[in-house]
């Protein structure tokens, strides 16, 4: 498997990254089987693994650490910080206090002395980005972290982080991890061009739109939804399923499976370094690896553009990040007394 530059970090990674969100209690509960999946991916030429402290409440990191025993030096290892790791309000977020504590926990679980790419999992509206970048800069200087990045950041926050780093002499975020698939193309408008402008590597999650482009979820077919409480809604959206049917037909016409079409689409974008594939079983991994060499020609890409227009989100993912301006009604409405007086 050929490699691509991870932005301007000097690190080279495979165009497919093994995502491990489904390893552990949130998906595959057989740890030994998860280790076999990781080894199969490495043997196939994938050299990039992405995990996070919150995946299966840290069990995913433990599984990855177990699997990389004796193979760590040949793997670009990425993990994340920010998600809630307990009821204590200080065991989450992007404060210096939490970052410096949680990186030690991740290093211990991963059984390593350094993390190749340490990412802020989501924006933290309660923490000044300078506070976060200062803590990450110190981790870089200590050697515990080799590169830093963001995940699910809107374009405005990516730009702000770059400017703050330049003005304050802090380390820059070198990568971004946004959601991207045929059904979720909103990042094409600003996020991906912004990453290109700043020379950032991009590893995209959800190339199969959290299962919708796996070929299992079809209009008029009843399929058991995953156990994860935050996934099922978008799998049953009728408008989205109409588009899926058109993509199924296109994949059939081109002689490829829908997952292969979908994953090849994401890595065809010039801003994308690597697409994160997140298999739960060996069979799922083998199926995705079988399409690793798939290249879409312009005619197929034009057809996809007709079905799912560039820059559009056909159906939002249940797990996509929404800023407080969207989730908090109070940020969109003047106080009642001001409205009445207007």
Report which DSSP code applies to 210. Answer: G
Question: Using an 8 Å Cβ cutoff, are 56 and 24 in contact?
Answer: yes
CA–CA dist 187, 247 (Å, integer): 20
Closest CA to 54 of 18, 85, 20, 96: 85
Torsion angle of the four alpha carbons 64, 5, 270, 20, in this order, in degrees rounded to the nearest 10: 0
CA–CA dist 185, 32 (Å, integer): 36
Exposed, middle or buried: residue 272 (CB in 10 Å: 0-12, 13-18, 19+)?
A: buried
Tokens 């190339």 appear where? 207
Residue ranges of alpha helices (H) inside 174-308 are 191-197, 238-254, 258-267, 282-290, 298-307
Q: Does 55 participate in catalysis according to the annotation?
A: yes
What would the two tokens of residue 329 be?
A: 């009604």
Entry field: residues in the chain = 342
What would the two tokens of residue 37 be?
A: 């999946």
Longest dimension (CA), the chain: 70
E-only strand ranges, the chain: 4-5, 12-13, 16-19, 48-50, 76-81, 117-120, 148-151, 175-177, 201-204, 274-277
Annotated catalytic residues are 55
């Amino acid at each position: 498997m050929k490699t691509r530059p991870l932005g301007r970090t000097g690190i080279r990674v495979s165009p497919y990254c093994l995502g491990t969100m489904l390893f552990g209690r949130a998906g595959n509960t057989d740890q030994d089987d998860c280790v076999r999946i990781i080894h199969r991916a490495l043997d196939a030429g994938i050299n990039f693994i992405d995990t996070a402290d919150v995946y299966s409440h840290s069990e995913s990191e433990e599984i990855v650490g177990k699997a990389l025993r004796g193979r760590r030096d040949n793997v670009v290892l990425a993990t994340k910080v920010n998600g809630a790791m307990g009821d204590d309000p200080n065991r989450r977020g992007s404060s210096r206090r939490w970052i410096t504590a949680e990186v030690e926990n991740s290093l211990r679980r991963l059984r390593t002395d350094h993390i190749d790419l340490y990412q802020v999992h989501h924006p933290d509206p309660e923490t000044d980005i300078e506070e976060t970048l200062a803590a990450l800069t110190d981790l870089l200087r200590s050697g515990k972290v080799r590169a830093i990045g963001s995940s699910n950041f809107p374009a405005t926050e990516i730009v702000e982080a770059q400017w703050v780093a330049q003005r304050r002499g802090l380390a820059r975020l070198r990568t971004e991890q946004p959601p991207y698939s045929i059904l979720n193309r909103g990042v094409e408008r600003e996020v991906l061009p912004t990453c290109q402008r700043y020379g950032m590597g991009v590893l995209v999650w959800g190339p199969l739109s959290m299962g919708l482009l796996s070929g299992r979820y079809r209009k008029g077919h009843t399929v058991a939804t995953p156990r994860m409480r935050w996934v099922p809604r978008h799998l049953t959206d009728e408008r989205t399923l109409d588009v899926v049917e058109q993509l199924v037909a296109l994949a059939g016409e081109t002689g490829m499976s829908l997952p292969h079409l979908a994953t090849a689409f994401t890595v065809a974008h010039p801003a994308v370094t690597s697409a994160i594939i997140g298999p739960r079983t060996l069979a799922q991994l083998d199926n995705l690896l079988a399409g690793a060499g798939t290249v879409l020609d312009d005619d197929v890409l034009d057809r996809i553009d007709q079905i799912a227009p560039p820059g559009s989100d056909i159906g939002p993912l249940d797990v996509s990040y929404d800023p407080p301006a969207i989730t908090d009604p109070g940020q969109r409405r003047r106080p009642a007394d001001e409205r009445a007086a207007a």
